[in-house]
Every structure is written in C-alpha cells, then in structure tokens.
C-alpha cells in the first residue's frame, strides 16, 4: 500500500477491469454511507407534523411573536437535523441532474398542495386542510424514507 506508485505502463484488460471494480466498489460504499438513518426521516416527519401549530396561533401581537419564535426554532431544528446527518455521515451528497430534477418536481408538488391547503384555510376557513396536509406529508416522509432505505439496501 505504501509503495503503490504505478509503473507508467498501461494496464492489461484484467488490471483495468479490477481497477474499474475497485472504483465502483468505492462509489457503492459511499452511496451506502449516504443513506440517511431512520432518525433522520423521523426527525423530518416530526418537524413537518408539528408545523401546523404555527397556523393555529391568534392574530395578536403575542400570537405573531409566538409565530416568529416558533418559525425560528423550527428552522433551527431543521438545519440541525440536516447538519447532524452530514456531520455523522462525513459526506455531502451530490445530486445528478436527474436527481435534482426529481427533487424540484417533488418540491413543486408539495408547494402546490401546501398552497391549496393554505387557500382552503384562509379563503374558506377550512382549518383541517393545513393539518391534513402536514400530517399526510409527515407520514409520506416517514414511509418513503424508511421504505426507500430498505429497498436500496436490499
């Protein structure tokens, strides 16, 4: 290992194949290390599940102050969850163009549903909409996260 400098000659097909396999193995190991643990999805789901509490606060000075404090705490907890995962994994994920496209599609879909729920609450006083949206999203994060992880490791 210490003296592994290449000789400068080109590898044989067998050596090249072994090198490709070693590279593939390193990438597979990295992908496995990047798989988020159960607590990551549980934390995200919990954060999403409690988020409707912010919409239940009264429109008073105290209520608005509480809303701001709640949002600051929520964003801090969200950031800490992401940071803890990256810190423990020791790796920062890199998304391919296709993965980035999927993330954007997912965010657009969630944003559209969230907007619809907000319109139902604000325009039609349907308070249940925001709560239902958040709870369904929380369950989806948990199920997709845990199921996706299991499928990837299978």
Assess contact for 41 and 146: CB atoms under 8 A.
yes
Contact code string over 21-60 relative to other proteins, x by CB under 8 A: -xxxxxx-xxx-xx--------------------------
- Looking at residues 63 to 102 of the shown chain, list those that interact with other proteins (rule: CB under 8 A): 87, 89-94
Query: Which of 111, 116, 93 has the alpha carbon at shortest distance from 33?
Result: 93
Nearer to other proteins, 21 or 127 (CB): 21
In angstroms, the CA 118 to CA 51 distance is 13
d(CA 48, CA 75) in angstroms, rounded, equals: 11
Residues in the chain, how many?
154
CB of 146 to other proteins, least distance (A): 23
User: Rounded to the nearest whole angstrom, what is the least distance from the CB of residue 25 to other proteins in the complex?
Assistant: 8
- Minimal distance, residue 87 CB to other proteins, in Å: 7
Handedness of CA 62, 126, 128, 78 (dihedral sign): negative
Residue 16 in contact with other proteins, rule: CB under 8 A: yes
Residues numbered 95-154 forming contacts with other proteins, rule: CB under 8 A = none
- Determine the Cα–Cα distance for residues 66 and 5; give it in Å rounded to an integer: 62
Which residues of this chain interact with other proteins, rule CB under 8 A? 1-2, 4-6, 8-13, 16-17, 19-20, 22-27, 29-31, 33-34, 87, 89-94
């Amino acid at each position: 290992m210490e003296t592994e400098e290449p000789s400068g000659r080109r590898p044989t097909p067998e050596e090249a194949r072994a090198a490709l396999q070693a590279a593939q193995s390193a990438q597979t190991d990295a992908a496995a290390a990047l798989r988020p643990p159960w607590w990551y999805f549980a934390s995200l789901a919990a954060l999403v599940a409690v988020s409707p509490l912010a919409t239940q606060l009264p429109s008073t000075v105290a209520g608005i102050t509480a809303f701001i404090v709640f949002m600051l705490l929520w964003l801090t907890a969200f950031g800490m969850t992401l940071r803890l995962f990256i810190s423990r994994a020791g790796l920062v994920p890199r998304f391919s163009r296709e993965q980035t496209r999927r993330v954007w599609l997912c965010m657009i879909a969630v944003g559209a549903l969230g907007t619809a729920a907000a319109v139902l609450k604000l325009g039609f006083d349907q308070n249940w909409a925001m709560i239902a949206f958040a709870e369904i999203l929380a369950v989806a994060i948990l199920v997709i996260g845990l199921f996706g992880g299991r499928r990837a490791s299978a």
